[in-house]
Amino acid sequence: MVYNKLLKEKGAIRLTFLPFAVPHITQAEIDEVVDTLRSGWLTTGPKTKRFEREFAERIGAPYGLAVNSATAAMHLALDAIGLQAGDEVIVPVYTFTATAEVVIYFRARPVFVDVDPVTCNLDPARLEERITDRTRAIMVVHIAGLPAEMDAIQSIAKSHNLPVIEDAAHAFPAQYRGRMIGTIGDLTAFSFYATKTLSTGEGGMLTTANPVYAERAAIMALHGISHDAWKRYSAGGSWYYEVLQAGYKYNMTDIAAAIGLHQLARSDCLLERRREIAQRYTEAFSRWSELETPPNPAHVEHAWHLYMLRLRPEQLTITRDEFIQALTKANIGSSVHFIPLHLHPFYRDTYRLVAEDFPAALHAYRRAVSLPLYPGMTDEDVEDVIAAVEQIIGVHKI
Ligand SMILES: Cc1ncc(COP(=O)(O)O)c(C=O)c1O
Our answer on whether the CB atom of 250 is closer than 6 Å to any ligand 1 atom is no
Residue 7 has pLDDT above 60, yes or no: no
User: Which one of 65, 67, 96 would you pick to mutate in the ligand 1 pocket, going by the greatest count of ligand atoms within 8 A of its CB?
Assistant: 96
Comparison of pLDDT for 328 and 10, the residue scoring more:
328
- Per-residue confidence at 238, pLDDT binned at 50, 70, 90? confident
Question: Rounded mean pLDDT of 8-14?
Answer: 62
Our answer on whether the CB atom of 200 is closer than 6 Å to any ligand 1 atom is no
Contacts 24+ apart (CB under 8 A), 317-324: 317/396, 317/397, 317/398, 318/392, 318/396, 320/366, 320/367, 320/368, 320/369, 323/369, 323/392, 323/396, 324/369
Identify whether the C-beta of residue 135 lies closer than 8 Å to the C-beta of residue 160. yes
Question: Among residues of the chain, what percentage have pLDDT more than 70?
Answer: 95
| Among 69-78, 218-227, 311-320, the least confident range | 218-227
Q: Which one-letter amino acid corresponds to residue 192?
A: F
Q: So what's the pLDDT on residue 230?
A: 63
Q: Give the pTM.
A: 0.96
Is 196 considered catalytic here? Answer: yes
What does the pLDDT look like over 126-152, one tens digit per residue? Answer: 999 999 999 999 999 999 999 999 999
- Per-residue confidence at 2, pLDDT binned at 50, 70, 90? very low
Nearest-CA residue for ligand 1 atom 7 is 70
- Per-residue confidence at 327, pLDDT binned at 50, 70, 90? very high
Hey, what's the torsion of the CAs at 265, 269, 273, 275, to 10 degrees? Answer: 90
DSSP assignment of 137-187: EEEEE-GGG----HHHHHHHHHHTT--EEEEETT-TT-EETTEETTSSSSE
- Per-residue confidence at 3, pLDDT binned at 50, 70, 90? very low
Rounded to 5 degrees, what are φ and ψ at 355?
-55, -40
CA of 170 to the centre of ligand 1 (A): 8
Question: Rounded mean pLDDT of 32-40?
Answer: 98
Catalytic residue, from 8, 196, 231, 249: name it.
Answer: 196
Q: So what's the pLDDT on residue 11?
A: 54
**Structural domains of the chain sorted by starting position, each given as residue range(s) with its CATH number in brackets:** 5-23+267-396 (3.90.1150.10), 27-265 (3.40.640.10)
Question: Rounded mean pLDDT of 362-368?
Answer: 98
Q: So what's the pLDDT on residue 75?
A: 98
What does the pLDDT look like over 366-396, one tens digit per residue? Answer: 999 999 999 999 999 999 999 999 999 999 9
Residue 166 has pLDDT above 50, yes or no: yes
- Per-residue confidence at 79, pLDDT binned at 50, 70, 90? very high
Measure the CA–CA gap between 94 and 112, rounded to whole angstroms.
9
Question: Rounded mean pLDDT of 323-332?
Answer: 97
Q: Residue 390: which of 12, 6, 20, 10 has the closest Cα?
A: 12
Question: Among residues of the chain, what percentage have pLDDT more than 90?
Answer: 92
Our answer on whether the CB atom of 166 is closer than 6 Å to any ligand 1 atom is no
- Per-residue confidence at 8, pLDDT binned at 50, 70, 90? low
